[in-house]
Structure 1
Amino acid sequence: MKTFRHLLSKPDTVIQYYVSGTRKKYMNPISYFAIAITLSGLLFFVLRNIYEIDLTQSSFSDNQTTNLDFVYDYQGPISYLFMPVYALMTWLLFIDKRKFNYTEHLVTNAYITAQTSYVQVLICLPLFGFFDIRYDVFNGILLIAVVIYQFFILGKMHQTGFFSTFFRGFVYLILFMIITIMLGVLIAAIALVSGYMSLEDFIAK
């Protein structure tokens, strides 16, 4: 609980404690991240199977879209696979400051992703249980909030000004969206090749 509380109130302090070698004060990022991903998997199970929410339905089209909900069955492995990619992105975006190495960015992103996953679980369970909300709208708002939180922390750690941090965060958001699109194309290609889906499934109905 202390790790969770302090990642809300003084997140940069928590992370810098760990990367500086003080390992006993807070939960280590690997365990914290692993628990968060497990809880996120349970959250998506509840949303899909108990609340019966289509997590891939678009709010901006009346057409019936291809159901790619099966992607959330692999949410855990995908999170582990892409964590090094996110760390590489933030490391490159702050490489001019030369304050933290790639491994330390990996630790930072693990803590940040885990923390936002815990918050997502705490918000989503009651929110979607009591209100009729489109998941894609919520997820878009959440993504922006996560990037703001992420670069608030990174900005404090690297001691960058508001506009410098904002620009880096904006570039990160664009790169994140490009990677998400590429991942979507890859998943669709795998689904086609494996026979799980056909070309007709991608035609709007």
Structure 2
Amino acid sequence: MNCKTCDYSIDAVAKYCPNCGAKIVDERLSLKGTWEEFVGPFFSWDNNFWRTFFGMFKNPKDVLEAYISGARKKYFHPFSYIVLYATIAVFFYKFFPMESIMEFSDGFSKGFNTTKSPKDDLKIDMKSLMESLMGYYNFLVLSLIPIYSLTSYLVYYKKGHNFFEHLVFNSYLQTNLGFTSLLLQVILVNYFGVAFQTYSLLFLVIFIVFTLYALKKLYNQNLKQTLVSGILYVPLFFGLYLVLLFIITILIVIGLILTKI
């Protein structure tokens, strides 16, 4: 018989196609089969998702190099990985909203608007702005990947990887940080009631340490080389990040103003 994916001739008792690697499925769909095919793999500890997530902490070099070296079935696809996170994050913030952010934003907008004269028509509603930002969370997450990639590319350009390979690296890095952030938010902010400002500072430290740790493993750097890279990486990233954030915020403010005209 032939493989239904690539039409390659295979043995009748084969479980996988030797040419394209596709699983050979002859049975009709059933409840058990549907669970095993679509739901079961995600909850299995021995699948691409968990192998990728924990691999980024244990052996980031292997995960980061696998995709660009051609081993593309061993770990979760890098761009699918970050899209999955962005999608989960949208629903996550619906069930676990950062109330402290909204309270701070509401207070900021009230304070800002009271300083303006009654003749001014422009009112800044920071709460609505933050809600709009969260509504475009997928876009914000994806738009930051080129910034992370450009930063690591400029800092580590002598290592030989091009910008597009850094896109792959940072898709893995930032997705792992994103999932970690969701977990920490539930534990620290929603459960223990840690202040948002404290949580933000803590996660900033985690972001810097984990990023430098993964890139240290990738490029086999010693401690001194890692510190030098960090001194270059941090200000460069935050400079590019602030520029992008400013542009996005201005665009959203303009959009909010136009909708009220």
- 1:83 maps to what in 2? 145
- From 135, 150, 159, the equivalent of 2:220 is 159
- Residue 188 of structure 1 deviates from its aligned partner by 4.1
Say if 2:147 and 2:241, in contact at 8 Å, map to a contact too.
no
The count of corresponding residues between Structure 1 and Structure 2 is 191
Mapped partners of 1:71, 1:150: distance in 2? 25
Residue 141 (structure 1) shift: 1.7
Contact 2:159 2:219 in 1 (8 A): yes
Q: Deviations over 1:113-134 (max 9, x none)?
A: 1111111112212332222222
Q: Larger radius of gyration, structure 1 or 2?
A: 2
Note if contact 2:56-2:63 (Cα within 8 Å) is conserved in structure 1.
yes
Could you tell me which runs of 5 or more consecutive residues in structure 2 were left unpaired when the two chains were aligned.
Answer: 1-49, 113-125
One-letter code aligned to 2:157? I
Root-mean-square deviation (CA), in Å? 2.5
Q: 1:122 to 1:72 in 2, by over 3 A?
A: same
Whether the aligned pair in 2 keeps the contact of 1:17 and 1:23 (CA below 8 Å) is yes
> For residue 110 of structure 1, what is the amino acid of its counterpart?
S
Equivalent residue in structure 2 for 1:18, among 67, 72, 90? 67
Equivalent residue number for residue 57 of structure 1? 104
Counterpart pick for 1:45 among 91, 94, 102: 94
Contact 1:39 1:121 in 2 (8 A): no
Inter-partner Cα distance in structure 2 for 1:170 and 1:75: 29
Correspondence for 2:56? 7
Per-residue deviation, residues 27-54 of structure 1 (Å, max 9, x unmatched): 1111111111112222322333xx6332
* Greater relative CO (CA pairs within 8 A, separation 6+): 1
Quote the Cα distance in structure 2 between the aligned partners of 1:97 and 1:78. 29
Map of 1:178-193 to 2, 5 A cutoff?
178-193=239-254
Aligned partners of 1:33 and 1:110 also within 8 Å: yes
Percent identical among aligned pairs is 23
Check if 1:170 corresponds to 2:231. yes
TM-score, normalising length: structure 1: 0.80
Structure 1 contact 7–115 (Cα < 8 Å) conserved:
yes
Deviation at 1:192, TM superposition (A): 4.2
Equivalent in the alignment of 1:71: 133
d(CA) in 2 for partners of 1:120 and 1:96? 31
- Structure 1: any 5+ residue segments left out of the alignment? 198-205
The answer (yes or no) to whether the contact 1:36–1:117 under 8 Å persists in 2 is yes
Give the TM-score normalised by the residue count of structure 2. 0.65
Separation in structure 2 between the aligned mates of residue 57 and residue 178 of structure 1, nearest angstrom: 24
* Cα distance in 2, alignment partners of residues 33 and 183 from structure 1: 19
Contact map agreement 2:212 2:226 (CA 8 A) in 1 = yes
